[in-house]
């Protein structure tokens, strides 16, 4: 199989009568891609950024983003409140996040031993996904909202992060302990926040020159929770069907 990587510049490339059946695009930028006369039957597209307010994806002249968003809200009750604006709404939204993850966790733990550490198609395992959410909370709550210099838990997995080849898989109980601590941090902050505090400026942790608000940082945390819950439950479905 031919492989293209970060160093291969295919921006603006034209593919004419090319057989790409079975091709796999991972962590790739296909924004603005134009496809005409394309056979995409049985295709499987996962695009988290379709959840943004200005997202569009047109298939046969129809913007399908609203349909996708509505369907995901049906599958994940509570997701529709992920951009709540006021403290009461955010408290309710976070409670729904906690309940949804508790349900998924119960499902994973009821499956055969070791399921939480199973990777599907090279994706993070259930436990690794929870570890990434520890890191995401540390980034947007610890570093951005609370402005801590070193907020990161040692078990957190950064974006595209992996463990060292010789690293020992941490016990799931330790992952749950770290996760519970970060979830409680978000819960406590939302419980005590005020409308004025939600409007306070903060630095974007990835681009300090770009200002955000506390509200935006909380929205990012909640979005991360729902998107990764979707990934995790998708993979549990796959594991369960094998």
Q: Which residue matches tokens 């520890």?
A: 134
Range name among 113-122, 156-165, 212-221 with the lowest pLDDT average: 156-165
Are 236 and 108 in contact by the 8 Å Cβ rule? The answer is: yes
The pLDDT value recorded for residue 46 is: 86
Q: Quick check: 97 pLDDT over 80?
A: yes
Q: What's the whole-number mean pLDDT along residues 115-140?
A: 96
Phi, psi of 184 (to 5 degrees): -65, -35
Q: Is the pTM higher than 0.85?
A: yes
Residue-wise pLDDT for 159-168, tens only, equals 877 777 778 8
The pLDDT value recorded for residue 127 is: 97
Residue-wise pLDDT for 1-42, tens only, equals 678 887 777 888 888 888 888 888 887 888 888 888 888 888
CA distance 221 to 189: 12
CA distance 50 to 71: 13
The pLDDT value recorded for residue 44 is: 85
Helix locations, 155-213, DSSP H: 172-192, 195-198
CA distance 239 to 230: 14
The pLDDT value recorded for residue 163 is: 78
User: Is the Cα dihedral 96, 99, 105, 111 positive or negative?
Assistant: negative
Which strand (E) or helix (H) includes residue 59? strand 58-59
């Amino acid at each position: 199989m031919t492989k293209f990587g970060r160093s291969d510049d295919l921006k603006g490339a034209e593919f004419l009568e090319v057989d790409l059946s079975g091709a796999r695009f991972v962590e790739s930028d296909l924004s603005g891609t134009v496809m005409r006369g394309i056979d995409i039957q049985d295709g499987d597209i996962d695009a988290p950024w379709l959840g943004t307010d200005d997202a569009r994806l047109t298939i046969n002249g129809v913007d399908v983003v609203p349909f996708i968003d509505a369907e995901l809200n049906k599958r994940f009750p509570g997701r529709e409140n992920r951009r709540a604006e006021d403290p009461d709404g955010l408290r309710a939204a976070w409670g729904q996040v906690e309940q949804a993850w508790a349900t998924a966790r119960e499902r994973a733990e009821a499956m055969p031993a070791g399921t939480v550490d199973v990777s599907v198609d090279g994706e993070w395992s259930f436990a690794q996904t929870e570890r990434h959410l520890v890191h995401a909370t540390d980034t947007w709550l610890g570093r951005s909202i609370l402005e801590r210099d070193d907020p990161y838990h040692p078990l957190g997995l950064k974006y595209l992060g992996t463990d060292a080849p010789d690293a020992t898989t941490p016990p799931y109980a330790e992952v749950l302990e770290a996760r519970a601590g970060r979830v409680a941090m978000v819960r406590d902050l939302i419980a005590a926040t005020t409308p004025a505090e939600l409007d306070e400026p903060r630095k974007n942790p990835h681009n300090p020159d770009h200002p955000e608000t506390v509200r935006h940082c909380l929205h990012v945390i909640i979005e991360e929770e729902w998107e990764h819950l979707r990934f995790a439950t998708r993979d549990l479905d796959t594991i369960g069907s094998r």
